[in-house]
Amino acid sequence: AAKGAGRRTSRLYDEALHELSEQKRVLEADLVRAVERKEFVLHYQPKVCTDTRAILGYEALIRWNRPGVGLVMPGEFIEFAERSLIIQDIGRWCIYEACREAAQWESGLSVSVNLSARQFMDPNLNSTIRDALRRSGLEPERLELEITETALIQNIMVASRILEKIKKLGVKVALDDFGTGYSSLSFIQKFQFDSIKIDRSFISTMGTDRKSQAIVDAILNLGSSLEIPVVAEGVETEDQARELLLRKCREFQGFLISKPKPIETGAFSPRVAVDKAS
Ligand code: C2E
Ligand code: MG
Ligand code: MG
Ligand code: MG
């Protein structure tokens, strides 16, 4: 009987595995189609000055308008897309689309685009960026690329050469999710980032966890000594914003100001001109 049960379990296991790989095949096929049919949209979240709350720029965040499903968040498909080559197509679309849209904003503010690790190693990355800038007419200094430590870890020397080339185009580079990956300080030493973004996980626990607070302080001190602006991610409460102001963190993003939104909606839409002095 034990043997029979074992066989049954293993059959169930095989079926589960089969179903999983079937789901993956469907997802992969749907993503390929999504690229062809342009089912993606970019939502934008403002980055503000901690002191005045003036908008300093917008981060572009991808969403997938999946037929029959609705709006799918990047957490549900980016990692998957990264494991295949689809990420190259999706990533390229993001760069072109963000540049195209930003070039039309009345505000003239900058746009930040997230790059995946794979995209970062794409030998065509530089020419893609150059072409997107040329076609859209967006000034290079208005484009910022966000990369994570994970994208850099594989080969610091190669990575810093790629970054160097990107910076030669006049584009800005931010280190995203700082503190969560390998947080090798040699990234910061070997490469001149235009900004460092403190990961949301530290901001959300800053008020209750002394360790998070110490880490936030350490990153802010590092930024200030190296003269690299530090941006706090995921600020949700006035308390957090006040703490950041006290600690001289000059810029932040978060639901407190606005969730990422489609280009057309609301007061924080990049479409709308902002009063930079306010
Ligand atoms: P990220 O670049 O660190 O983006 C910040 C994420 O935090 C976004 O999630 C944003 O909606 C969310 N967020 C911002 N403020 C708050 C807040 O106050 N509270 C909370 N709880 N969340 C906040 P989203 O849009 O789901 O994106 C998740 C991740 O997916 C991004 O993290 C980025 O790594 C990746 N991603 C998004 N768009 C792209 C893209 O176009 N290309 C690539 N390669 N990755 C992307
Ligand atoms: Mg980001
Ligand atoms: Mg981030
Ligand atoms: Mg993140």
Q: CA-based angle 136:48:268, to the nearest 5?
A: 65
Atom of ligand 1 nearest to the CA of 74: 30
51 vs 48: CA distance, rounded Å? 9
Q: Which token pair is 233?
A: 């991610």
Query: Under a CB-based contact definition with an 8 Å cutoff, are residues 153 and 181 in contact?
Result: yes
Write out the chain's pLDDT in tens, 278 residues. 556 777 777 787 788 777 778 888 899 999 999 999 999 999 999 999 999 999 999 999 999 999 999 999 999 999 999 988 899 999 999 999 999 999 999 889 999 999 998 888 888 999 999 999 999 999 999 999 999 988 887 777 888 889 999 999 999 999 999 988 776 788 888 889 999 999 999 999 999 999 999 999 999 999 999 999 999 999 999 999 999 999 999 999 999 999 999 988 777 888 887 765 44
- Give 235 Cα–ligand 2 centroid separation in angstroms: 14
| ipTM here | 0.98
Cα–Cα distances in angstroms (integers) from residue 3 to residues 9, 16, 17, in the given order: 10, 20, 21
The contacts of residue 184 (CB under 8 Å, 6+ apart) are 149, 152, 153, 156
Give pTM, 2 decimals.
Answer: 0.93
Query: Under a CB-based contact definition with an 8 Å cutoff, are residues 146 and 103 in contact?
Result: no
Q: Whose CA is nearest to atom 17 of ligand 1?
A: 234
Strand partners of residue 253: 47
- Separation of first and last alpha carbons in the chain: 76
Query: Which of 31, 82, 114 has most ligand 1 atoms within 8 Å of its beta carbon, as the pocket-test mutant?
Result: 114
Going through 90-162 in order, the beta strands assigned E by DSSP cover 110-114, 143-148
At which residue do the structure tokens 């959300």 appear? 204
Pocket of ligand 1 (CB under 6 A): 45, 61-62, 73-75, 78, 91, 94, 114-116, 146, 176-177, 200, 233-236, 253-255, 260
Atom of ligand 1 nearest to the CA of 253: 15
Q: Which helix (H) or strand (E) holds 176?
A: strand 172-178
- Give 15 Cα–ligand 3 centroid separation in angstroms: 37
Cα–Cα distances in angstroms (integers) from residue 126 to residues 84, 95, 129, 133, 153, in the given order: 21, 11, 5, 11, 20
Neighbours of 213 (CB within 10 A): 16
